Amino acid sequence: MLSKKTKYAFHALTFLGKNRDQKTVLIQDIAAEYGISHKFLENILLELKKAGILGSKKGKGGGYYLIKEPKDVALSKVIRLLDGPIALLPCVSLNYYEPCVECQSEVKCGLNKVMIQVRDEMLNVLENKSLADILDKE
């Protein structure tokens, strides 16, 4: 399951996507829309900004806005950013690889082989679905 952080990130991105006509949107308005803690959401939006997905404007009249095209915000990108690896095991993660301590030889490990296949099929889905798909269904 995704963490709440990631789920809220998707909600926020959806809200920002729906309000692209506005120059900026307040954290507060997003928090209110979904009943999320303002402060918690603040951290999430900051991470999305640092990742180049959102832009912001400080000071009075400021707020956040979507900097990327919705079709260019893949689900995989948001998940990796806030939740970490998509792979089901550390030993098959492309972005967060770590060997399994209990594993004598990765090359001989059937579980490793199968989980590489699972990872590839999951990535195929998560890299080809994007914020645009979410917005299309709203």
| Chain length of the chain | 138
The answer to whether residues 53 and 13 touch, using CB atoms and an 8 Å cutoff, is yes
What one-character-per-residue DSSP string does 78-129 give? HHHHHH---SSSGGG-SSS----TT-S-GGG-HHHHHHHHHHHHHHHHHTT-
> Is 45 or 134 the residue whose CB approaches DNA more closely?
45
Stretch that binds DNA, among 25-33, 91-99, 118-126, 128-136 (CB under 7 A): 25-33
Contact partner at residue 51 from DNA, a copy of itself, none, CB < 5 to 8 Å by partner kind: none
Minimum distance, C-beta of residue 25 to DNA, in the bound complex (Å)? 7
Backbone torsions φ then ψ of 65, nearest 5 degrees? -150, 155
Q: Give the bridge partners for 63, in sequence order.
A: 57
Minimum distance, C-beta of residue 41 to a copy of itself, in the bound complex (Å)? 11
> Is 111 or 132 the residue whose CB approaches DNA more closely?
111
The answer to whether residues 67 and 52 touch, using CB atoms and an 8 Å cutoff, is yes
Centre a 10 Å sphere on the Cβ of residue 39 and count the other Cβ atoms it contains: 9
Minimum distance, C-beta of residue 54 to DNA, in the bound complex (Å)? 8
Q: Verify binding: residue 83, DNA, rule CB under 7 A.
A: yes
Query: Can you tell me which of 20, 23, 50, 129 binds DNA, judged by CB under 7 A?
Result: 50
> Is 61 or 104 the residue whose CB approaches a copy of itself more closely?
104
* Residues in touch with DNA (CB under 7 A): 3-5, 24-28, 36-37, 39-40, 42-43, 45-46, 49-50, 56-64, 83-84
